[in-house]
Chains A and B, each alone.
Chain A
Amino acid sequence: QKEVEQDPGPLSVPEGAIVSLNCTYSNSAFQYFMWYRQYSRKGPELLMYTYSSGNKEDGRFTAQVDKSSKYISLFIRDSQPSDSATYLCAMALMGGGAQKLVFGQGTRLTINP
């Protein structure tokens, strides 16, 4: 079993739709949860970061963490064609110093105009 599971999609939705992206994980020691966005032929860029259960909102994006279920989600409201990209969840253990990130497989998202 992979430490982090993410549905690879692809996922295609119309512009303006609410998008839900999800990851599950098996290691209860993960404390940091991140979502990266990766455009084609580009490196991943950090979209959101959280370390506690609950919701964190940033503009049209909401990150949700449920540690009891080992489940994290990213919601995109009022989706735009520019949101079309691959979204990767990533997790890290708690502790000082640089942390090793464990990534999900990535979900390929297309927003259709």
Chain B
Amino acid sequence: SAVISQKPSRDICQRGTSLTIQCQVDSQVTMMFWYRQQPGQSLTLIATANQGSEATYESGFVIDKFPISRPNLTFSTLTVSNMSPEDSSIYLCSADLGTGGLELGYTFGSGTRLTVV
């Protein structure tokens, strides 16, 4: 299965600043996903990133706050903009292996643990 590298693995940021998280997949994938995992909460999908098109955002998430880039089939970035303490969370990148089925599941990166102070 594909390996996903995410960086940074963690960061502590000042409120009002922005952080860009990088996600690299070791094979070409069609769909990439960005999730947020708040403490004690389930994973919540932020957006779906398809190469060559605008990302599709879930309800409650907007492009101005979480701009996403998907320049090629192996890479994506998520920016958390104008951060506040409420943005403190784990951000996870995930990829669809492109097999057309869910039996292989989605592969996740190890996540970026963000703390906003």
Which residues in B have some Cβ–Cβ distance to A below 8 Å? 4, 6, 30-31, 33, 40-45, 48, 58, 92, 94, 96, 100, 102-111, 113
Which residues in A have some Cβ–Cβ distance to B below 8 Å? 4, 6, 8, 32, 34, 36, 41-46, 49, 51, 88, 90, 92, 96-101, 103-106
Shortest CB-to-CB span from B53 to chain A, Å, is 13
Q: What separation, in Å, do the CA atoms of A46 and B95 have in the docked complex?
A: 12
8 contacts between A and B (CB under 8 A): A42-B111, A43-B4, A44-B108, A88-B43, A98-B96, A101-B43, A105-B40, A105-B42
Contacts of B102 on A, CB cut-off 8 Å?
32, 34, 49, 51, 92, 99
Given A44-B108, A97-B100, A98-B33, 10 more A-B residue pairs with CB atoms under 8 Å apart are: A43-B4, A46-B105, A46-B106, A90-B43, A92-B102, A98-B30, A98-B31, A100-B45, A101-B43, A106-B42
Known interface pairs A43-B4, A105-B42; A98-B103 also in contact (CB < 8 Å):
no
Shortest CB-to-CB span from B3 to chain A, Å, is 11
Known interface pairs A43-B4, A43-B110; A34-B105 also in contact (CB < 8 Å):
yes
B100 and A46 contact, CB distance less than 8 A = no
B41 and A105 contact, CB distance less than 8 A = yes
B111 and A36 contact, CB distance less than 8 A = no
